[in-house]
Amino acid sequence: MKALDISGLAKTYKGGVQALKGVDLTVEEGDFFALLGPNGAGKSTTIGIISSLVNPTAGQAKVFGYDLHTEKEAAKACIGLVPQEFNFNQFETVLQIVLNQAGYYGVPRDLAKERAKKYLAQLDLWEKRDARARELSGGMKRRLMIARALMHEPRLLILDEPTAGVDIEIRRSMWGFLKEINRQGITIILTTHYLEEAEMLCRNIAIINKGQIVENTSMKSLLAKL
Ligand code: ADP
Ligand code: ADP
């Protein structure tokens, strides 16, 4: 099964910036996949399109076989997104934030509470459940975004620069957590501009530059070439 299948994806923003110029990409179910590229390469745009936040100008995208255009709701239900920017209500508590997300996806309340406890504990946030988001450190906020993205138990977790601005210790523990949930079967796609991060985590990699995929290979063969 393909977790992601995109072809000919293009995006020209209003104002004329050609962020994507015909991107083809497939990611198999179960993979841990990196989209690597410098700032401005088109990573966030690609992820935005996959997550239905940005409309492509041209091309096709399928998530677990669901067409993003014609089967948007089914596709969205498969995806958990960890955006780059903190986008939660800073005055809500950690627990409220994850429970609201579950509610948004129609997860029954009891199940939502169970999952909240499980994911917050695994991400070292259970003790902080009654703290307001604005009281959390940067690393905690990032982990909260991961917990929130998992509340509807998506088949595909997408993370946009997940460890940007996170110190090395927290980064390592986040990496460990991501590896573990991938082992349990969740497909993961992350964007990064650190080769080291991709190397630590990912089996397959695509390199994007100026809106085009310039390399798409296994991590092993990329490292062998360098
Ligand atoms: P990356 O995530 O790799 O840094 P982006 O997808 O954010 O790259 O950006 C790709 C290009 O599109 C950049 O030139 C950026 O300035 C531009 N861009 C991104 N978002 C928008 C937008 N909403 N409107 C106009 N231009 C944008
Ligand atoms: P879409 O075509 O997907 O609706 P828009 O072109 O309307 O996207 O841009 C979305 C928003 O992003 C706009 O409000 C725009 O002001 C903002 N934006 C513009 N340029 C950039 C940029 N370089 N990077 C990020 N966001 C941008």
Mean pLDDT by 10 residues, the chain (226 residues): 98 96 98 96 97 96 97 97 92 97 97 98 97 94 96 98 87 93 97 92 97 96 90
211 CA distance to ligand 1 middle (Å): 9
7 CA distance to ligand 2 middle (Å): 23
Token pair belonging to 206:
């695509």
pLDDT at 167: 86
The CA-based dihedral angle spanning residues 43, 69, 75, 151, taken in that order and rounded to the nearest 10 degrees? 70
Within 13 Å of residue 123, how many CA atoms lie on the same side as its CB? 29
Regarding the beta carbon of 195 and ligand 2, being less than 6 Å apart is answered no
Look at residues 86, 63, 85 and name the one whose alpha carbon lies nearest to residue 75: 63
Instruction: For 5, list phi and psi in degrees, rounded to 5.
Output: -145, 100
Which ipTM value was assigned to this complex?
0.75
CB 200 within 8 A of CB 212: no
Structural element, H or E, at residue 101: helix 94-104
Token pair belonging to 29:
């179910």
Ligand 2 atom nearest the C-alpha of 15 is: 6
12, 14, 17, 160, best to mutate for ligand 2 pocket (most atoms within 8 Å of CB): 14
Ligand 1 atom nearest the C-alpha of 54 is: 23
Residue ID of nearest Cα to ligand 1 atom 18: 19
Ligand 2 atom nearest the C-alpha of 54 is: 3
DSSP 85: S
19 CA distance to ligand 1 middle (Å): 6
Q: For helices 109-122 and 94-104, what crossing angle results, to 10°?
A: 130
Regarding the beta carbon of 13 and ligand 2, being less than 6 Å apart is answered yes
What totals of helices (H) and strands (E) does the chain contain, helices first?
A: 8, 10
User: Using CA atoms, how far apart are residues 116 and 121, in angstroms rounded to an integer?
Assistant: 8
Token pair belonging to 62:
């399928």
Ligand 2 atom nearest the C-alpha of 17 is: 23
CB 38 within 8 A of CB 98: no
Tokens 């994850």 identify what position? 98
CB 3 within 8 A of CB 51: no
